[in-house]
Chains A and B, each alone.
Chain A
Amino acid sequence: MPDFSIFTDYFPIYMKGFGNTIVASIIALIGSFVLGTIIAVFRISSVKLLNWIGTAFVEFIRNIPLLLVVFVFFYGLPSVGVTLSGFVCGTVGLTVYTASFIAEAIRAGIMSVPRGQTEAAQATGLTYIQTMRYVVLPQAVKIVIPPLSNQFLNLVKNSSVLGVFAGFDLMYFGDQIASETYATFDTYVIVALLYLVLTLPLSYMALRLERKLAQTG
C-alpha cells in the first residue's frame, strides 16, 4: 500500500505540475485538432501540392519518436535564433506530433464514406462544401470519434515528455519529489493516479458522445 503522506506533504508541488499538465494538454488538444483537420483536408485534396505537403507531414512526424520531435524544438531551434522554454517546446511538439495521428484518423473517416454518396449528392446539385457539410461529414464523424478519443488520451499521457525538457509538468515534479524523498514507488503511484484523474473523465466523455451520435444516426 503506497504511503499517501507524500501527497499531502508535497501537495503544492503536485498541484503545480498537475495544473501545467492540464494547460499543456488543453492547448495541445485544441491545437492538434485544428492542425490535424487542416492536414487531413490537404491529404484528401485533389491539388497535388497540398496532397504532397499533407503526406510528407504525416509520414515524417508520426514515424519519429515524440521525444525527438520535442528535442528538435528545444535544442535545434536556438541555433536559428528562436529560444523557447521547455514548456512551450513540449506543448508545440506534442501538438505537431498528435496532429499527424489525428489527420490520419480524420482522413480515414472521410474516406470510409462510400464514394457513391458524394456522387449522388453532387448529382442532386449540391456544391462540394454542401456535400461535405450535409452528406459526408455527419457520417464520417461517427467513425472518427473512437480513434480521435484514443489520440486525445494518448496526448494527455504523452504530455509527460515535458518532464525531460524542464517543462514543469506533473512528471517533472514527480521526478523531483522521487529524488528528494527516495520514495520512488509511492511518488509515481500518486503521479499515475493524477493522470487517471485527467484521462478517465475524458474516456467517459468520449464514450457518451459516441453513444449519443449512434442514436441520432
Chain B
Amino acid sequence: MISKKWVASCFTFLLAIGFVLSGCGNTAQTGGGAASAPAGSPAASSAPSGTTAAGGGFALDDIKKRGKLVVGVKYDTKLFGLKNPTGGEVEGFDVDMAKALAKEILGDEKKIELKEVTSKTRIPMLENKEIDMIIATMTITDERKKQVEFSDVYFKAGQSLLVKKGSPIKGIADIKKGTKVLAVKGSTSVINIKAKSPDATILEFDNYQDAFSALKAGQGDTLTTDNAILYGMMAQDKNYEVVGEPFTDEPYGIAMKKGETALQSTVNEALKKLQSNGEYKKIYEKWIGQSPS
C-alpha cells in the first residue's frame, strides 16, 4: 500500500515538473524568436534584394501590369489602420493615403488591395513580394534604411503633449517647475520628458486609460506620449487637444523593397502632388482632427 502511494505521488511530482519544464521551454522559444527576428532579418534580406536592385527595380512595372496596388497596412491601430468591428472595412489615415496613391499611380483609388501587417511581419512580407509597399505607422530610421527604401515623410510622429482646451501650456517650453506631467510607467516618453524638462513633476500610471482619466480628473496639467496615441484620445474627447510640435523626431515613411528606386520616386512625386492639390490636407484633417503643421 505504502509503495503504491509513493509511486503515485512520485508520478504526480514528475508530471508537475514536466508541466513546468514544457512551460519554460515555450517561453524560451518565443523569447528567442522575438529577439532574433530584428537581428536576423536584415542579414536575410540583403541577399535577394541585391539581385533585383539593378535598373531601379521592377515593382512599378509589376504594379501597372497587375493593375492593382498591394499595400500592407495595420488592422489594429486607431486612426491609422483599424478594422471596423461592425462593417469589416479597414479604415484610417494610412489606408486613405494608400487609396490616394493608387489614384495617382493607377488612376483609380479602388485599384488597391490591403493586406494586414504587424511591426514584425511587414519587412518580411515586403521581401517576399507579398506587398508592394508598407504604409503602417513605420518610423524612418537609419537602421531600417539599410533594409528598405523610404519615401518622404508623410506623417510627423513624435512625442507630444495633450492638454485640456484653453490650457496655458502651448508646447514643451511651457512646462515649468511644478507642472504636473502625466505619463505611463516604463515608457520611453518618461525618459524623454525628464531630459527635456527636468523640473516637471512626473506622475506615472499603469496604462494610457488611467493616465487619460487622471488628466480628465484634473490630477495633472498635461499628458505626454506619442502624438499618434494622443490624437486618438483627442478623437475620443473633443475637450482635449494636442499642442506644440512633436519634441522627438519619429517621422513615418512609406517603405518599399530595397532597390526599387523607380517606385520610390513615383511615390515621392505622388506625395508632392497630394500635398499641392490639398488632398493630403483633407485626409490629414479627417483622421487627425487638426491641420498638418
Contact = CB atoms under 8 A, between A and B. Distances in A.
Given A179-B185, A179-B186, A172 B217 contact: no
Interface string B191-234: 00000000000011110001001100111000000000000000
Given A83-B219, A176-B185, A179-B186, A75 B206 contact: no
A131 to B, nearest CB: 49
Given A179-B185, A179-B186, A78 B217 contact: yes
- Kindly name the residue among B185, B205, B206 whose own CB sees the greatest number of chain A CB atoms within 10 A: B185
A85 B185 CA distance: 18
Contacts of B213: 75
* Chain B contact patch, size range: 10 to 19
Contact of A166 (B186, B204, B218): B204
B209 to A, nearest CB: 11
Contact of B204 (A74, A78, A79, A172): A172
A78 B164 CA distance: 15
A83 B206 contact: no
A124 to B, nearest CB: 58
Contacts of A186: none
B203 A176 contact: no
A209 B205 CA distance: 40
Contact of A78 (B185, B203, B219): B219
A79 B185 contact: no
Interface string A164-190: 101000001001101110000000000
Interface string B258-274: 00000000000000000
Nearest to B186: A179
Nearest to A168: B203
B217 A79 contact: yes
A180 B186 CA distance: 7
B151 to A, nearest CB: 34
What 3 A-B pairs have minimum CB-CB distances, sorted nearest first? A179-B186, A166-B203, A78-B217
Interface of B: 185-186, 203-206, 210, 213-214, 217-219
23 contacts: A74-B217, A74-B219, A75-B213, A75-B214, A78-B218, A78-B219, A83-B218, A83-B219, A86-B203, A164-B210, A166-B203, A166-B204, A166-B205, A166-B219, A172-B204, A175-B185, A175-B186, A175-B204, A176-B185, A176-B186, A178-B186, A179-B185, A180-B186
